[in-house]
Amino acid sequence: MDSMIGIIGGSGLYQIDGLEGASWVKVSTPWGKPSDEVLVGRLGGVAMAFLPRHGRGHVHAPSSVNHRANIDALKRLGCTDVVALSAVGSLREDYVPGDFVVVDQYIDRTFAREKSFFGSGCVAHVGFSHPTCARLSGHVATAARAAGARVHEGATYVAMEGPQFSTLAESRLYRQWGADLIGMTGMPEAKLAREAELCYACLAMVTDFDCWHPSHGAVDVAQVLATMGRNAGLARDLVTRLPALLGPTRALCPQGCDRALDHAIMTAPAMRDPELLAKLDAVAGRVL
């Protein structure tokens, strides 16, 4: 199939440069409104779609981001691969502000968000032991290094509800768990991408040391914005390198991300809710 790269921009990244034929398009989804219109175009002969997670101007708080609508919109546009950029705090001494980290595991501590496209009337359970796509993550790491970033590969991301930052006790607890990063937007985004059979990779941009570090003050918005401003150019540069790495055509995912629903749906066909099935047209149309 043809490749189409979806980019979900986090704090500090609200557009990508150099797209040919670029235009902002409104995408309607059965799950409500996405965070914003989607910027579509082509780069290096590869179709691209960019969605600012918090909306242009940063108008959506972490808990109010409509992740289901965002993922559905990218799938509906034809995306095959999704790269998410996220600002995070570091829970490790060696992950310093300004570093980029390729995430491969999550601990989900969110509690106020819709986490699945499926439910009563069409029950499904996708495999999620490896929540990111190793193939796509490797390309993202390569692109980030080529852009000049200091990159770490393989990290566990604690997704917290927010919008407040951690208490000192929480920050210390997550370090005891062996977590490496903390942020507010990684979940349920990664879960929904898997349900939508999209290859998903997360490149986390370290902005601070949360509040555990004895030599650094508690995190604040000014600190986050300053680091994001310094990293924004690198983030835009690495995004422009992805089309050459992924190419215009795409084979099946070796990990099976694009076939996650093959054996996931439990509800018998005769018992499936027609209204829910209609909402799943883009996400699960391949198997339904």
240 is in an annotated binding site: no
Residue 21 near residue 42, CB atoms below 8 Å: yes
68 is in an annotated binding site: no
Bridge-based pairing state of the strands 46-52 and 4-9 = parallel
54 is in an annotated binding site: yes
H helices of 78-187, in order, are 134-146, 168-176
185 is in an annotated binding site: yes
2 is in an annotated binding site: no
In degrees and rounded to multiples of 5, residue 137 shows phi and psi of: -60, -40
63 is in an annotated binding site: no
Closest CA to 16 of 39, 47, 45: 39
Whether 210 is catalytic: yes
First to last CA, the chain: 20
Q: Is 88 left (phi over 0), alpha (psi -120 to 50) or beta?
A: beta
Select which of 81, 99, 210, 258 is catalytic.
210
49 is in an annotated binding site: no
Buried b (16+ CB within 10 A) or exposed e, 42-54: bbbebbbbbbbbb
132 is in an annotated binding site: no
60 is in an annotated binding site: no
What distance in Å separates the CA atoms of residue 115 and residue 113, rounded to the nearest whole number?
Answer: 6
Give the tokens for residue 57: 């101007």
Whether 17 is catalytic: no
* Helix, coil or strand: residue 283: helix
Select which of 36, 72, 108, 208 is catalytic.
208
Q: Which residues are annotated as a binding site?
A: 11, 53-54, 86-87, 184-185, 208-210
Which residues are the active-site residues? 208, 210
Q: Which residues are annotated as a binding site for substrate?
A: 184, 208-210
